[in-house]
Amino acid sequence: MAIRLKPKTYGPLVARLNGGRVTVQSAPTQVLAISSPPGDDAASPVEILLTAVGSCLAISIAMAADQMKLDVGQVEVSTSGTRALDLPHRVGQIEAAVTLERVPDGDTAKQLLKRGKELCTVSNSLNVPVELSLA
C-alpha cells in the first residue's frame, strides 16, 4: 500500500537584521526576537533550531501515541546541541530527552520514539539543501 502525502508549504517568514538583532515575523501579530549571543529577551538562532526540533518531536510523539492507541499523558522534550568540530560551521549533534507522564513498556516505548522521530518534519529536514537567491 503506497502512502500518499499531501503537499504543504511553510512561510513566508521574514527575518530582518537591524543593529545586530533579528526580528522574525511569522504572522501579522507574531514577532520573535533573535540575537547572537542570546540576550535576556532574545534567543539565539541555534536555540530556535533546538526549540523547533524539541517542539516538533513532542507533537510527533503525541501523534504517534494517539495512532498507537497509547495514553502517555504529557509529553516533554528537552533538547541540547553540540557544535561540530570541523567545517562548515554547524550543530554536529542534537540530543533529545523525552519525558512521558505515563511510560509504556520497554518495546512499546522504543516503538513510540521511533515512530515519533519518523513523523517529525523538523528533525527529518535537517540535512535538506538550502537554495539561496537574491529577491
Q: Where is pLDDT greater, at 91 or 26? A: 91
Q: Are residues 110 and 70 in the same domain?
A: yes
Q: Are residues 24 and 84 in the same domain?
A: no
Write the pLDDT tens digit of every residue in 82-103. 999 999 999 999 999 999 999 9
pLDDT of residue 128: 77
Q: Are residues 53 and 105 in the same domain?
A: yes
Structural domain that includes position 27 = 12-43
Would you say 104 and 110 are in contact if contact means Cβ atoms under 8 Å apart? no
**The three-state (H, E, C) secondary structure of 71-103, written as one string:** CCCCEEEEEEEEECCCCCCCEEEEEEEEEECCC
Distance of CA 51 to the CA centre of its chain: 6
Would you say 21 and 35 are in contact if contact means Cβ atoms under 8 Å apart? yes
Q: For the chain, how many structural domains are there in total?
A: 2
CA distance 55 to 13: 18
Write the pLDDT tens digit of every residue in 45-68. 999 999 999 999 999 999 999 999
State the pTM of this model: 0.86
DSSP string, 20-32: TEEEEEEETTEEE
Q: Which three cell numbers stand for residue 101?
A: 507522564
